[in-house]
Structure formats: C-alpha cells, structure tokens
Amino acid sequence: MGLINGLRDAFYNTTNETGEDLKEHRERAISQEEAIESLYRSHPDRAIGPWQVEKLIEGEWPITSIRRAITNLTKRGVLVKTDHKRRGRHGRPEYMWQLNPSMEAQP
C-alpha cells in the first residue's frame, strides 16, 4: 500500500481507475477509515462488528467498504479481531473487533 498525505492508501484499485476518479476514491476510502477508527476510539472497551459500524456511523457506505476499513485498521494494529461473534444483518454470524488496548493512549 502506498501513502497519501501521510496516511495509508486505503483504496484497492481493482477497477483500474485513473486520474481524478482514482484520487476521489482514495480520499473517500481514507475518510471512511478515519471515521471508523474514530468510532472504535470512542468505544475503546466495546467489541463492534461491521453491521454495527454501519448502524453507528453517519453516512451510507457499502458494507464492503466498512469491512475493507476494518481489515486495514486491523493490519495496521489499530483494531484487534476478537473471538466474539454476533448475528449480522442477514442472520449470519460475524466477528467483532475492538480497539487494540495499546492504541488507547495514542491520538
């Protein structure tokens, strides 16, 4: 992953976008990732699943974008995947994530 303005490039360019479209998609992905990180930071002791994030976050984002952001934040060590599951929107179990305890003191 590359870096954009000091932030991790959160957009996976699977559709081979270029130019302004690519820039816009990257910026949107970074914004989504920042908002989701902020949500977890505001609930440091709470395990939250992707469908719960979708309910709690303001904005209408595809669940795939939410899952992508959670995956990126997990890879960066900001979030940790728990062993806990709950039923998602379609009745299927989904894992829960929470803020990595070592990240609680960091801005």
- Mean pLDDT rounded to a whole number for the chain: 82
pTM of the model as a whole: 0.78
What's the average model confidence in pLDDT over 64-70? 92
Round to whole Å and give the CA distance between 22 and 13.
Answer: 8
Query: Residue 37 pLDDT > 90, yes or no?
Result: yes
The amino acid occupying position 13 is N
pLDDT value of residue 82: 97
What's the average model confidence in pLDDT over 22-49? 88
Query: Residue 105 pLDDT > 70, yes or no?
Result: no
Domains of the chain, first to last: 3-103 (1.10.10.10)
| Cβ–Cβ under 8 Å, residues 100 and 94 | no
3-state secondary structure at position 90: coil
Percent pLDDT > 90 in the chain is 49
How many C-beta neighbours within 10 Å does residue 75 have? 11
